[in-house]
């Protein structure tokens, strides 16, 4: 190992150690000013920046709270020392901004402050807590171009995630202290506010501990694991998928993906391809459920001119197209036995012959097969060749159904809302609590694809503001056949006359129990179930309840 590489690794390890040491400060320091200084000093240390500025969102703008140089000296008149256009861009987009030579960077050609401050290297990162922008860390170097490296961004990304939580904690505690000092006639309101703030602090402290654990686990690798950005989900079932994807990334073996329709099997197949050594070669796909039996052989292996009626020219098949890359065979369980035999021979010999041709063509293709059926069961029923099954099932991956990872639903919706916002197509501000509760209770038999179709309907037909529970019911009922299966799949609810009704996410037993507990008081019952009184009345009417039935 070269001395330069050794020195680099030592520096990286020292940086990670510095962050781990800083974790204790982040978890214990409650003085906001001291905390901000410690965070900024650490950021300067990690990046070898000349100067640093920590800005917090305030009153619709940004305020420089701390400004220090590499020698821990305070910077005078900090508001006049930074490019506010860069900081504003980071706050608006939530994305990092890095410039190796800001004076020559065309992105900042109209920014007068860059030239007047004589800035060379600039690095500005957002501080985000639960998707809420609370500020930014701005670092610069007026003398060196390219002062900030990619690794420093990776390390600082983990650090800023923890720092943002710690800052928010300190501000919450400051608010808590101020609340405790209010007048005695507000004591009852203070008790509720205090508990709410303590819950938030406890939740974010736990989140900070989780981030710290993830950082320690990643210290061995010194780099952040590759992010499969197109695959959304942080639930335990998806973490298992990510772990397997990471393990098979350097390999070229066949992969079999099983999962229900709409779970994202092709998305995962693409992730496998584009993170492997074959990523520079083509990715081709074929769905056996969407193509007639007579065309499959020609589609896969190609054909010669005149091989059959309509073959007016030579045509390469998907195996040739994907040579050196990956071929994704979707719904492999629908392949006929005759075609299974031909596919097996190709996999065994590594050769294909176009329809109507005599010559064989050598091919090098990685096969990723997918199905919504149980191939092992099909083998037992002699509807799928056992030898082909073992050829395909070298690496097995199961995609979880959406009902198995419902905690990912808000993240999926958030991502699609973000994409709609970027395209200027977002009309709604979000879902009401009752609406989101209904979305989370739905069984989603069509999985992620059905959820995406539902969101598309919401974005097209919503009038604006919050999406209500009534609108959710309307859109889901408009999605026809899957709606019935989705509500029938809800666990723990009893449905009158065996019929599925869209309002029965607050089932009859729940409403009845709430009214009995509150002696027929509708307001108290609605409050106990945390729903609006007007909406509670609507459900009572649907269930044919009267409050007088429960007064005793």
- Is residue 376 pLDDT above 70, yes or no? yes
Give the whole-angstrom CA distance, residue 483 versus residue 396. Answer: 31
> What is the structure's pLDDT at 368?
95
Residues 6+ apart with CB under 8 A from 422: none
Domains annotated on the chain, with CATH: 3-216 (3.30.450.40), 236-398 (3.40.50.300), 404-550 (1.10.8.60)
User: If you average pLDDT over residues 469-488, what whole number do you get?
Assistant: 66
- Closest Cα partner for 121 from 134, 108, 110? 108
Give the whole-angstrom CA distance, residue 140 versus residue 160. Answer: 16
> Which of 99-108, 320-329, 464-473 is the most confident on average?
320-329
> What is the structure's pLDDT at 486?
60
> What is the structure's pLDDT at 217?
58
Report residue 81's pLDDT band, with 50, 70 and 90 as the boundaries: confident
Report residue 2's pLDDT band, with 50, 70 and 90 as the boundaries: low
Give the whole-angstrom CA distance, residue 274 versus residue 326. Answer: 9
Q: Which residues in 309-358 belong to E strands, given as ranges? A: 315-316, 326-330, 351-352
Give the whole-angstrom CA distance, residue 248 versus residue 252. Answer: 8
**How many C-beta neighbours within 10 Å does residue 226 have?**
12
Report residue 384's pLDDT band, with 50, 70 and 90 as the boundaries: very high
Asked if 15 contacts 107 with a C-beta cutoff of 8 angstroms, the reply is no
Give the whole-angstrom CA distance, residue 454 versus residue 451. Answer: 5
User: If you average pLDDT over residues 97-114, what whole number do you get?
Assistant: 74
> What is the structure's pLDDT at 435?
87
3-state DSSP percent of the chain in helix, strand and coil, to 5:
55, 15, 30
Minimum mean pLDDT range among 127-141, 237-251, 252-266, 462-476: 462-476
Minimum mean pLDDT range among 41-50, 51-60, 366-375, 472-481: 472-481
Give the whole-angstrom CA distance, residue 489 versus residue 505. Answer: 12
User: Comparing 99 with 509, which gets the higher pLDDT?
Assistant: 99
User: If you average pLDDT over residues 513-542, what whole number do you get?
Assistant: 77
> What is the structure's pLDDT at 499?
34
DSSP class of residue 401 equals P
Task: Convert the pLDDT of each residue in 387-442 to its tens digit.
Answer: 999 999 999 999 999 999 999 999 999 989 888 888 887 888 888 888 888 899 88
Task: Convert the pLDDT of each residue in 187-200 to its tens digit.
Answer: 777 777 778 878 78
Q: How much is the pTM?
A: 0.49
- Closest Cα partner for 436 from 415, 416, 413? 413
Mean pLDDT of the chain: 81
> What is the structure's pLDDT at 497?
36
């Amino acid at each position: 190992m070269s001395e330069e590489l050794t020195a680099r690794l030592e520096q990286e390890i020292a940086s990670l150690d510095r962050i781990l040491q800083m974790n204790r400060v982040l978890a214990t320091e409650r003085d906001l000013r001291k905390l901000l200084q410690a965070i900024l000093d650490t950021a300067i240390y990690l990046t070898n920046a000349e100067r640093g500025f920590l800005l917090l969102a305030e009153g619709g703008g940004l305020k420089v709270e701390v400004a220090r140089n590499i020698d821990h000296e305070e910077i005078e008149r900090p508001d006049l020392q930074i490019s506010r256009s860069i900081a504003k861009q980071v706050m608006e987009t939530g994305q990092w901004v890095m410039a190796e030579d800001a004076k020559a960077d065309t992105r900042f050609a109209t920014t007068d402050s860059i030239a007047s401050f004589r800035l060379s290297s600039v690095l500005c990162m957002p501080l985000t807590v639960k998707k809420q922008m609370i500020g930014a860390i701005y670092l610069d170097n007026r003398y060196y171009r390219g002062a900030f490296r990619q690794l420093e961004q990776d390390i600082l990304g983990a650090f800023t995630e923890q720092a943002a939580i710690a800052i928010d904690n300190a501000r919450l505690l400051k608010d808590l202290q101020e609340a405790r000092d209010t007048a005695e006639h507000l004591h009852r309101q203070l008790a509720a506010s205090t508990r709410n703030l303590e819950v938030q602090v406890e939740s974010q402290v736990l989140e900070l501990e989780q981030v710290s654990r993830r950082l320690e686990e990643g210290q061995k690798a010194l780099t952040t694991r590759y992010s499969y950005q197109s695959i959304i989900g942080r639930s335990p079932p998806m973490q298992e998928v990510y772990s397997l994807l990471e393990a098979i990334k350097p390999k070229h073996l066949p992969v079999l993906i099983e999962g229900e329709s709409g779970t994202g099997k092709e998305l995962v197949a693409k992730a496998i391809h584009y993170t492997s050594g074959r990523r520079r070669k083509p990715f081709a796909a074929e769905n056996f459920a969407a193509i007639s039996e007579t065309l499959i052989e020609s589609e896969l292996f190609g054909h010669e001119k005149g091989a059959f009626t309509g073959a007016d020219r030579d045509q390469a098949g998907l195996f040739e197209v994907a040579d050196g890359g990956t071929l994704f065979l979707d719904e492999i369980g629908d392949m006929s036995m005759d075609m299974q035999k031909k596919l097996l021979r190709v996999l065994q010999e590594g050769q294909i012959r176009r329809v109507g041709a005599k010559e064989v063509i050598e091919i090098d293709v990685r096969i990723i097969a997918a199905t919504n059926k149980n191939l092992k069961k099909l083998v037992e029923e002699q509807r799928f060749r056992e030898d082909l099954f073992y050829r395909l099932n070298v690496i097995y991956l199961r995609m979880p159904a959406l009902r198995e990872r419902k905690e990912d639903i808000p993240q999926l919706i958030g991502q699609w809302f973000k994409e709609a916002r970027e395209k200027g197509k977002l009309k709604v501000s979000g879902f009401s609590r009752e609406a989101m509760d209904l979305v989370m209770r739905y069984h989603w038999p069509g999985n992620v694809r059905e959820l995406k179709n539902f969101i598309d309907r919401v974005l097209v037909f919503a009038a604006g503001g919050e999406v209500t529970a009534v609108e959710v019911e309307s859109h889901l009922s408009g999605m026809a056949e899957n709606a019935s299966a989705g509500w029938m799949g809800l666990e723990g609810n009893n449905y009158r006359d065996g019929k599925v009704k869209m309002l029965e996410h607050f089932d009859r037993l729940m409403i009845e129990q709430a009214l009995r507990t509150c002696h027929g008081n509708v307001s108290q019952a609605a409050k106990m179930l945390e729903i609006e009184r007007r909406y509670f009345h609507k459900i009572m009417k649907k269930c044919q309840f009267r409050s007088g039935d429960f007064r005793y």
